[in-house]
Structure 1
Amino acid sequence: MTVTPSAPSAEPTETEPPATYSLRRGSLGTTDIAFFVVSAAAPLTVMAGVAPLAILMGGIGAPVGYLLAGLTLAVFAIGFTTMSRHVRSAGAFYAFITRGLGRRAGIGAALLALIGYNGMEIGVYGLLGTATRDTARSLFGADIPWLPVSLLGLLLIGYGGYRSIDFGAKVLGVLLVAETGILVLLAGAVLVDGGADGLSVASFAPGNVMVPGMIAVLAFAFAAFTGFESTVIYRREARDPARTVPRATYLAVAFLGLFYAFIVWTVIQAFGDAKVIATAGSNPADLFFSAITVYVGSWAADLMHILIVTSVLASLLAFHNAINRYGLALAEEGILPKALTRVHPRHRSPYVAGIAQTVLGAAVVLAFAAAGADPYTQLLLWVNTPGMLALMVLQLLAAIAVPLYFRRVAHGEGALRTVVAPVAAAVLLTGAIALVVTHLDQFTGASTTVNTVLAAIVPAVLVIGLALGWWLRRSRPEVYAGFAAEP
């Protein structure tokens, strides 16, 4: 790394050269980092927008799909967090992959991470536009265009990334509590009332879990965790990162897995095991709103509409902060332009990387709008899908890298953490990726041709990254040799 870190107590004056500024060390605790990760997953949006489809396809056993996905990612987290104690680079995924699979693979992973995180964020601006439009229509009968909303969202998120990481953590904390709070309110009301036909645990019976539709549920469930691994990106700003980052990772995975399963189960109870599938089939987008109207009141349904918009904003801000730090790290590596290494003298944010990401997002959003594309079925789904696949492939590569890394270095870690868990995670993640790819049409609703192109983006980016690594080795050997070096 080329940026010289400042001591936390020494604040450079604004007249000092930019190279003396660094991200603010020791700013984030375990809960703060977990807020970033869980907010990126957008729990309310995932539940209200996607869980009804999981119930429709997998039946009342759908909650188990979220538990299985969470368990798989918890196994991945064992090796991932163990390696995070030994590899202190801010590059997270690409640094881990570099140490285990070599520099060319690491450079390919870096490019894939950049595409993946950008895809996960930029596509969501389409969702922001449609969610806000639907909320305005539901509450006020107004029909507002999506593009101005998405562009305004770009400016708001850009400002949030420009401010300090402390500011972002506080904003996400408030928004996350609000969106999970409305779901807890719904769940509590259903439990107190006893559901439509009394509370049942039939969702967890093997006969309701081992159904053909569970494969589709698993694909949706794995997608619902996307971005949980970004805990490591905040290593430089974490307090005691060797302890904080692993704790935040496990906390995020455990919370998401248990919370998703619990909420889906309570919504099934709200309509009853015998009726929920038919109700979801008649209008899946209305399932959660109908439930909360019946058990809490219409005012809560109106509030849920508003909180879905804030849930989307929280997800955007979380991904924006992650992307900025990846951009900063890659600029420090010499892969991206040096201008992106600039850190704001007061806010200590990677503000130039943030501006660049905002400009890129605006360009993509405007391009889709100019083409007359639908903000949901095309901007969101076509941009998000390769981003989701990219991050899943990165998880797989990181799992493979863990045992290869520990085979070559002296360490005091046990075989469970360095071999058994990462190998098991690699097998499980391979299956998860296969599930998502084979059910891509259920994510996108697009033609076979479109889905083939979307799926092909990930291997294409990896190949381009490998070619970039080969070029750097020949043309810029100093950059290649220093790639993913310890700070």
Structure 2
Amino acid sequence: MPATSPKTVTAAPPAPAEPGLRTGSLGTADIAFFVVSAAAPLTVMAGVAPLAIALGGIGAPAGYLLAGLTLAVFAIGFTAMSRHVTGGGAFYAYITQGLGRPAGIGAALLAMIGYNGMEIGVYGLLGSATQDTVHALFGADIPWLPVSLIGLAVIWYGGFRSIDFGAKLLGVLLVAETGILVLLAAGVLLKGGAHGLSLASFAPGNVLVPGTAAVLAFAFAAFTGFESTVIYRREARDPDRTVPRATYIAVAFLGLFYAFTVWIAIQSFGDARVVKEAGSNPADLFFTAITTFVGGWAADVMHVLIVTSVIASLLAFHNAINRYGLALADEGVLPRSFGRIHPRHGSPYMAGLAQSALGAVVVLVFWAAGLDPYAQLLLWVNTPGMLGLMALQLLAAIAVPFFFRRITHQEGVLRTVVAPVAATLLLGAAIALVISHIDLFTGASPLANAVMVAVAPAVFVLGFPLAHRLKRTRPEVYEQFGQS
């Protein structure tokens, strides 16, 4: 009987790996660009700082320094915890592990409402800012809706592409918008201001005035989104070092740059004149200053760069929202389709598509209702988002000491107790200031303001019955929530 040769068994090829985020793509500077771009420094300075000067007087620069110091204190405990909580859920994961799953689920809802509110409302600003720019440069009037819809498409594409593409684009836009403010500063400093340079803005008698409360409210709002550094942890190089560094750099840059730029604006008119100018025509304050000290061409460039500043802010918030959507899909809370990652670009493209679709719906609803892109779409949608993110900062600060009490660690008491408790008190005071001056942010009726203030706590509280339902119907998802 002839010998039979043994059958050759061919191993099945390994299943292709699931596409994932581009790990190791972002350095400290890249993450800092995302955070600072979200704050939109040029837009905040040209659009909001004149109001802070009008209300708080020449001591307004100190308000931005105080806000920056408060958030630096918050960052001490926040970044200490970031070394121990390594998932992509950022705020809600921190709050879950410090305060429990029901609070964490409420925080997840609050994060989605907060970041979406901060981003979608800004499409109204994009439309109105572009209208103003086209009118200033060409004397033409254009409708705002097509601009906002084109912006939605551009931002969707930026989020669809790889994260390093977004970082490079934001780097260019951020350098441009800060560059025009540096140019203004150089012109003012070289010419010695309107009547010589003065440090009276930092004198206690000019800082400790009733209007400083309003300045602080504007100042805290100007930092919104700085904490999103931790959202990019999975895409960062050496995240234990990169994320804390980017957080501190972002806070320090924004605090110092805001204070310096507001001081420059004051010097361009002089201490005696600037409050009157800011009160009578706040929208033109920075344009008048740069025309006087640099030239009319620089004012034209500033008009254009305000539009690109808004685009940079939109893209930064869009990328943050996408990663929250991805994290919640990975948790099993959102549909799994939201967690799909593009095989080529490494981007959470389905979460981005859903977010852009939501933005388009909101924009179209406001347009169909005949509402103003700035006074209604921006302010009515942005304000609840801002309060939501500030509430998340407060909850995260509260969560830090509770988290470190439950684990074995080698962090010092300053980082785990003293700084978080101080941050809790300071952030609580900041939220109270914003709420007490909410009419300055919205220009709306008392009833509308009450509704906007109520959104954040209502959304957070809604998380508790949803957590109970999740625990009863999907216990495996509930048990794993926020634990990655």
Match of 1:25 among 8, 13, 23: 23
Q: Deviations over 1:199-243 (max 9, x none)?
A: 000000000001000000000000000000000000000000000
Matched residue, 2:41: 43
Partner of 1:351: 349
Aligned length: 472
Tell me if structure 1 keeps the 8 A contact 2:401–2:417: yes
| Contact in 1 for aligned 2:114/2:386 (Cα 8 Å) | yes
- Aligned partner of 1:77 in structure 2 is 75
- Separation of aligned partners in 1, 2:464 and 2:111: 13
Q: Which whole-Å CA distance do the structure 2 matches of 1:24 and 1:264 have between them? A: 38
User: What residue identity is the alignment partner of 1:145?
Assistant: P
What TM-score do you get using the length of structure 1 for normalisation? 0.96
**Aligned counterparts, 1:222-233, within 5 A:** 222-233=220-231
Distance 1:179 1:270, change over 3 A: same
Match of 2:299 in 1: 301
2:449 aligns with one of 429, 448, 451: 451
Q: 2:412 matched to which residue of 1?
A: 414
Question: Residues of 2 paired with 1:282 and 1:448: CA distance?
Answer: 25
Matches within 5 A, 1:181-200: 181-200=179-198
For residues 4-403 of structure 1, the aligned pairs below 5 Å read 20-403=18-401
Kindly state the Cα deviation for residue 16 of structure 1 after the two structures are TM-superposed.
6.8
Equivalent position to 1:423, from 415, 421, 424:
421
User: Which one-letter code corresponds to 2:79 in the other structure?
Assistant: T
Q: How many angstroms apart in 2 are the aligned matches of 1:172 and 1:110?
A: 26
**Which of 465, 469, 475 does residue 467 from structure 2 map onto?**
469
| 1:354 partner letter | G
Counterpart-to-counterpart distance in 1, 2:80 and 2:240? 9
Q: Is the 8 A contact 2:97 2:483 kept in 1?
A: no
- Counterpart CA distance in 2 for 1:439 and 1:279 is 22
Q: Is the 2:185–2:264 Cα contact (8 Å) retained in structure 1? A: yes
Whole-angstrom distance in 2 between the partners of 1:179 and 1:253:
18
Aligned equivalent of 1:3:
none
Which residue identity does 1:73 align to in structure 2?
A: L
CA distance in 2, matches of 1:202, 1:295: 21
Q: Aligned letter for 1:265?
A: W
Q: Equivalent residue of 2:453, what SS?
A: helix
Amino acid at match of 2:222: A
In the alignment, residue 133 of structure 1 is paired with which amino acid? Q
Letter in 1 for 2:411: E
Task: Give the TM-score taking structure 2 as reference length.
Answer: 0.97
CA distance in 1, matches of 2:113, 2:277: 38
Q: Residue 465 of structure 1: CA displacement?
A: 1.4
If you compute each CA radius of gyration, which structure gives the higher value, 1 or 2? 2
1:105 & 1:135 partners in 2: Cα distance?
44
The 3-state SS of whatever aligns with 1:20 is coil
Separation (CA, whole Å) in 2 of partners of 1:378 and 1:282: 22
**Where do 4+ consecutive residues of structure 1 move more than 4 Å?**
none
SS at match of 2:342: coil
Q: Which amino acid aligns with 1:161?
A: G
Task: Select the residue among 430, 434, 446 that pairs with 2:432.
Answer: 434
> Could you say which residue in structure 2 is the equivalent of 1:10?
none
Deviations 1:307-329 (A, max 9, x none): 00000000000000000000000
The residue number in structure 1 matching 2:10 is: none
Give the whole-Å Cα distance in 2 for the aligned partners of 1:329 and 1:380. Answer: 27
Cα shift readout 1:93-121 (whole Å, capped 9, x = no counterpart): 00000011000100000010000000000
Kindly provide the amino acid, as one letter, of the partner of residue 280 in structure 2: S
Shift of residue 484 of structure 1?
A: 1.1
Percent of paired sites with the same residue = 76
Give the distance between the partners of 2:469 and 2:185, measured in 1 at CA: 55
Q: Aligned partners of 1:485 and 1:203: how far apart in 2?
A: 47
Unaligned runs of 5+ in 1: 1-12
Q: Distance in 1 between matches of 2:50 and 2:338?
A: 42
The one-letter code of the counterpart of 2:105 is I
